[in-house]
């Protein structure tokens, strides 16, 4: 087996497609197929399930090889990366996965500062909810990510990078204009907009409300929306109230577009984490980025 065959195999598993793998590696689809067939012949086992509906997935043998192949390719990249550092130049494409709040409100500052130190690096920023980031790290599709909740798993390491408040906001007008602190019973008569399942905000909110005997299904939820900007616009138009990151509405609060309704006895704080696989070898750029974030503590308040 050679590196090109392993690269083709890893791309097919990650992208679940021969054509997408070919496109990502700038190869033809027959070339990708040839690499996979050569690997299967050499190893004497089927690595990829090829279904009649063109869906692609790794076999059990393929899953085992995938874990090793990712490490082999990353170690190769580490060697090349170390040589490039020796030559005084660091370059490449850095893939970064993040949930909504880090992606919108933390990462732009980090990338700007990282770019000043490593101007030859390009970025591929991918937004998923926190659960998706964790799932993709476990499957080997991504190296690391930024998430809004911590799911305790033996395979993962979490590093706390900052914290945030989740607040209840309403339009700063009408019946809400003179409200500051409300009893929990007030929630029963209001309409709400919620984040989708899997988001860190929603998971932390559900846990906090449960501690105060307020199940989420007891609220009158009129919409589940993924996009933070859409949620804010719906609140502004009067569709309902929402629980949201305080960082996400800082400008609107300062401009008196929204106001925070404090709920008696309920304060919701949450952490954001840099998460990565404990045993998997990080790609060299990923390792450099990780060290940069931790060294400079760029996300700390």
What DSSP assignment string belongs to 47-58? Answer: -EEE-TT--EEE
pLDDT value at residue 298:
47
- Is the per-residue pLDDT at 103 higher than 90? no
Domain ranges of the chain: 1-70, 161-271
Per-residue pLDDT at 282: 76
What is the average per-residue pLDDT within 133-161? 88
pLDDT, position 257: 94
pLDDT in tens, 53-92: 667 888 989 888 998 888 888 877 777 666 655 445 677 8
Higher per-residue confidence, 91 vs 158: 158
29-43 vs 18-25: helix crossing angle, rounded to 10: 110
pLDDT of residue 278: 85
CA gap 91, 80 in Å, rounded: 11
Give residue 99's pLDDT band: very low, low, confident or very high (50, 70, 90).
Answer: confident
The encoded tokens of residue 186 equal 């007030």
| Number of residues that make up the chain | 301
User: Contact 284/82 with Cβ under 8 angstroms?
Assistant: yes
Residue 20, token pair as written in the block: 């997408």
Mean pLDDT of 6-30: 89
CATH class for the domain made up of 161-271: alpha beta
For 266, which DSSP code? B
Segment of 51-60, 179-188, 194-203, 275-284 carrying the highest mean pLDDT: 179-188
Determine the pLDDT at residue 242: 96
- Tell me the CATH architecture of domain 1-70: Orthogonal Bundle (1.10)
At 127-143, the pLDDT tens digits run: 888 899 999 888 888 88
Q: Which CA distances in Å does 229 have to 198, 249, 260?
A: 18, 10, 17
What angle is formed at CA 143 by the lines to CA 76 and CA 145, rounded to 5 degrees? 155
HSE value, Cβ hemisphere, 13 Å, CA-based, for 170:
20
Residues 47 and 204: their CA atoms lie apart, in Å, by: 39
* Three state DSSP letters for 162-215: EEEEEEEEEECCHHHCCCCEECHHHHHHCEEEECCCCCHHHHHHHHHHHHCCCC
């Amino acid at each position: 087996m050679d590196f090109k065959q392993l690269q083709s195999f890893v791309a097919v598993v990650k992208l679940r497609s021969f054509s997408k793998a070919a496109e990502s590696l700038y190869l033809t689809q027959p070339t990708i197929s040839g690499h996979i067939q050569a690997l299967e012949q050499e190893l004497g086992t089927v690595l990829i399930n090829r279904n009649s509906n063109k869906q692609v997935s790794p076999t059990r043998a393929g899953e085992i090889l995938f874990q090793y192949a990712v490490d082999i390719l990353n170690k190769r990249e580490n060697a090349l990366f170390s040589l490039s550092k020796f030559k005084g130049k660091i370059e490449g494409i850095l893939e970064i996965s993040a949930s909504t709040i880090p992606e919108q409100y933390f990462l732009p500052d980090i990338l700007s500062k990282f770019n000043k130190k490593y101007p030859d690096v390009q970025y591929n920023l991918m937004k998923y909810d926190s659960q998706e980031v964790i799932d993709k790290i476990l499957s080997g599709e991504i190296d690391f990510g930024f998430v809004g909740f911590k799911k305790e798993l033996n395979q993962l390491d979490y590093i706390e990078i900052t914290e945030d408040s989740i607040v209840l906001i309403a339009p700063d007008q009408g019946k809400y204009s003179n409200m500051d602190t409300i009893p929990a019973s007030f929630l029963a008569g209001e309409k709400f907009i919620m984040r989708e399942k899997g988001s860190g905000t929603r998971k932390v909110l559900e846990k906090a409300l449960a501690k105060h005997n307020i199940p989420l299904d007891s609220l009158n939820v009129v919409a589940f929306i993924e996009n933070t900007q859409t949620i804010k616009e719906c609140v502004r138009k009067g569709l309902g109230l929402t629980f949201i990151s305080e960082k996400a509405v800082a400008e609107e609060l300062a401009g008196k577009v929204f106001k925070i309704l404090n709920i008696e006895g309920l304060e919701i704080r949450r952490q954001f984490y840099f998460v990565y696989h404990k045993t998997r070898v990080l790609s060299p750029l990923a390792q450099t980025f990780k060290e940069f974030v931790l060294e400079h503590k760029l996300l700390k308040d």
